[in-house]
Amino acid sequence: MTFDSLLHKIPEIKSVNLLGIEAQALMVPKERRPYLKVDDFISNNPRYSAVMMLLYPKEQETSLLLIERSNGGGVHSGQVGFPGGKYEVEDQTLEVTALRETDEEVGIKANQIEILKAFTRVYIPPSNFIVQPYLGIMDTTPHVELSVDEVANIIEMPLSTLLDDTIIKEVGLQTSYAELIDVPAYIYNDYTIWGATAMMLSELKETLKQVL
């Protein structure tokens, strides 16, 4: 959809009810379903992080920024995700975390981004993190400067592509909760987007469909 069309929908996006784990569950296999309710895992003493789902204009259309993480040997190395990272005490809030990490990873400054709303948290069992996604928007195409230690590439997905059900496929993957299972994933430009990122994308997609 055009970016101008999206701008006219901003008040509705800010006020629309989130679809929560109902929408997230559309992109998880049955083996992952026991981990959908974040509050069930507070007793695990999880760490906290935040990510930025950033919308912006790209040649008049609306794009969504994703990143391919560098292969640094971590649990999520090489995977596709959103800019973001671990909460630090000096951040004060998780919103600050999302903005700071977006700056550190892709060079987009906090004052360029308007936060529209917080989305539903996701629990990530392998790393014992609770992740808080935020939906942000900026009115220009970002100039990106990658932190090469953390980010291998950026992926600019048109919002119209996310809203297209044909990019959802079942793929066989080895996961933390099963050796080899069929996992729902978004396939875009040869990237396989699954797990927590797919859950967040699913809630974003289903939420926006209510107003677009």
Measured in whole angstroms, how far is the alpha carbon of residue 182 from the centre of its chain? 21
CA 194 to CA 173: how far, in whole Å? Answer: 10
Q: What is the pLDDT of residue 77?
A: 56
Which whole number is the average pLDDT over 146-165?
96
In the chain, pLDDT over 90 holds for what percent of residues?
Answer: 86
The pTM of this model reads 0.94
Per-residue pLDDT at 72 exceeds 80: no
CATH number of this structure's domain 3-162+194-208: 3.90.79.10
Per-residue pLDDT at 10 exceeds 90: yes
Banded model confidence at residue 74, pLDDT cuts 50, 70, 90: low
Q: What is the pLDDT of residue 187?
A: 97
Per-residue pLDDT at 174 exceeds 80: no
Q: What is the pLDDT of residue 82?
A: 98
Pairing, β 47-58 against β 129-137: parallel
Measure Cα distances from 198 to 121, 122, 184 in Å. 13, 11, 8
Degrees to nearest 5, angle at CA 71 with 66 and 74:
95
pLDDT digits (tens, 9 = 90+) for 109-143: 999 999 999 999 999 998 999 999 999 999 999 99
- The terminus-to-terminus CA distance of the chain in angstroms comes to 9
Which whole number is the average pLDDT over 186-206?
96
Place of tokens 């396939």: 187
CA 115 to CA 112: how far, in whole Å? Answer: 10
pLDDT digits (tens, 9 = 90+) for 20-44: 999 999 999 988 899 999 999 999 9
pLDDT digits (tens, 9 = 90+) for 43-63: 999 999 999 999 999 999 999
Domain locations in the chain as residue ranges: 3-162+194-208
**What average pLDDT is seen over the chain?**
94
Q: What is the pLDDT of residue 64?
A: 98
Which tokens go with 25?
A: 């569950």
